[in-house]
Amino acid sequence: MTAVRIVIMCALLIAGVVPSTATSPHFEITIENGSPYFSPPIATVMTGTPIRWDNPTPTEHTITHDGCITDGPCAFDSGTMPPDGRYTVPSLPPGRYPYHCRVHPIMRGTVTVTNSAVPPQI
């Protein structure tokens, strides 16, 4: 009976019926006060992996896809992230996503989303 219960719980989790807090695997990027400002500054994640930025600094930042300030499509823009704030992008289509902080344009990072287990050659 326990196995049946586990199967049902898994089905509910997959269906999103049961809210999951810490169970969702995500890729974590931490904002830092000094260069390179994002740790890691260059990240490669598998399609479907949520990407989360944590802001442990005492300063407000944004996570803004470069496309949001150019002609390109705007894939994500956090708005202002307060100290101890967090921003999660649930998933992105495969591609390369350079991003920056609107408050401090010197802060730059890149996320590459891939379907392949082997990171693309740059």
Q: Which positions touch Cu ion (CB under 5 A)?
A: 61, 101, 103-104, 107
Half-sphere exposure of 73 (CA within 13 A, CB side): 6
The CB-of-106 to Cu ion minimum distance in angstroms stands at 8
The CB-of-36 to Cu ion minimum distance in angstroms stands at 13
CA distance 83 to 54: 9
106-121: burial string, b at 16+ Cβ within 10 Å, e else: ebbbbbbbeeeeeeee
Residue closer to Cu ion, measured from CB, 53 or 97: 53
The CB-of-25 to Cu ion minimum distance in angstroms stands at 26
Both structure tokens of 42: 């260059």
Q: Which amino acid is at 104?
A: H
The CB-of-62 to Cu ion minimum distance in angstroms stands at 7
Q: What is the DSSP string of 43-94?
A: EEEETT--EEEE--SSS-B--EEGGGTSSS----B---B-TT-EEEE----S
